Amino acid sequence: IVLGSMQPDVPPGDSVESARRLARNVLGALRDRIHEREDMQLIQDNFMHGVKVILNRRYAAVGRGIRFRFDTDEEESFVDHLDLHQRHALYAVFLEISTNDLKYGQGISTWELSYRGGTFRATFQAQSAQETVGRLSFIKRLRDEGGVCSEKNERGFYIFRLKMKLTGQRSRPSMLP
């Protein structure tokens, strides 16, 4: 009824369908906001566990898979040595790389992660329909935190590499982006 008064030329049946679409969009946006809050809590509780849960959910939503390879002892040590700024930088990396992969990638994507001698290394690999590499928005933040990265896309395969020296014990984060 309200939609009908806002769009007087729309036949009554179309108004009902418009209202349903609007309701689905509003509920979807609300669900996304709830997930964001839950995601931040997951990241604060255990960074890598949170990243895995968030990315697995995003990939499952589009019928894709993602694999993580990270030795359990190395992962625990890594999480213990991440400070708040490094968490922000790495969270941005995981989100942007996975977002681009969800747009252009195919099949199951893989993150191979290691943490040895105070250095975190990550390699992301996926089949890709994109033939060029894009501009990564997190580069400056990553460099500011002592990280370096590279990417290449050859013969339908995208590879992203990251290396970051972790400087100290983690400080309990109050909030992530």
Q: Please report, for residues 32, 53, 67, 71, the alpha-carbon distance to residue 57 in angstroms, rounded to integers and kept in the order given.
A: 12, 6, 12, 22
Q: Which residue's structure tokens are 């997190």?
A: 138
Q: How confident is the model at residue 10 (pLDDT cuts 50, 70, 90)?
A: low
CA distance 113 to 47: 14
Using pLDDT thresholds of 50, 70 and 90, give the confidence band for residue 11.
low
Q: Which of 23-27, 52-56, 155-159 has the highest mean pLDDT?
A: 52-56
Q: What are the φ and ψ backbone dihedral angles of 71, each rounded to 5 degrees?
A: -55, 135
Residue 51 has pLDDT above 60, yes or no: yes
Confidence (pLDDT) at 177: 39
DSSP H or E run through 152: strand 147-154
Mean pLDDT of 26-34: 75
Q: Among the listed ranges 21-35, 99-113, 146-160, which one has the minimum average pLDDT value? A: 21-35
Strongest mean pLDDT among 2-16, 125-139, 145-159: 145-159
Closest to 104 measured CA to CA, from 128, 88, 123: 128
| pLDDT for position 32 | 67
Query: Cα(146)–Cα(166) distance, rounded to whole angstroms?
Result: 8
Asked if residue 143 has pLDDT above 80, the reply is yes
Average pLDDT over residues 106-121: 94
Q: pTM (2 decimals)?
A: 0.72
What's the pLDDT at 55? Answer: 94
Given this model, what pLDDT does residue 170 score? 45
